[in-house]
Amino acid sequence: MDPLRSDRPVEAPAAPAGTRTWPAEALPLAERLHRQLSIGDRDWHALKRQRPRRAAEQLAAALVQLLAADDPGATAATDGRLRAIALLENAQAWLRAEISDPGCPAHGR
């Protein structure tokens, strides 16, 4: 599965103990936003070509990754931060029309 394409809401990986310094409600809110913006199987055909919609889905996924698996006090890049960066770059590519939909998952293309 392409890590930059989100058919289902992003599941937050567990952050290392003692590193979470984000506000307590930030991650649940980000996960809720991502669920709202995710394009599911039922809406795939209708929404897959809406570039801003796809970008918003990726931006919300990036936020989940950052809040779930990054220590904002860390100076070096963390896995969560790197995943968030990849998702942000993917969102930018959608907005710049540099990428297009990869095809229908149900039709094998």
pLDDT at 94 over 50: yes
Tens digit of each residue's pLDDT (9 = 90 or more) over 19-60 = 558 899 999 999 999 999 998 888 878 887 899 999 999 999
Q: Which two tokens stand for residue 41?
A: 């199987």
- The whole-angstrom separation of Cα 58 and Cα 77 is 20
Tokens of 24: 């307590």
What local confidence, expressed as pLDDT, does residue 105 receive? 63
Give the start-to-end residue ranges of the domains of the chain. 26-101
pLDDT classification of 107: cutoffs 50, 70, 90: low
Amino acid at 63: L
For the whole prediction, is pTM greater than 0.85?
Answer: no
Nearest residue to 39 (alpha-carbon basis) of 58, 66, 20: 58
pLDDT value, residue 49: 83
- State how far the Cα of 57 lies from the Cα of 66, in Å rounded to an integer: 14
Q: Where residue 4 falls among pLDDT bands split at 50, 70, 90? A: low
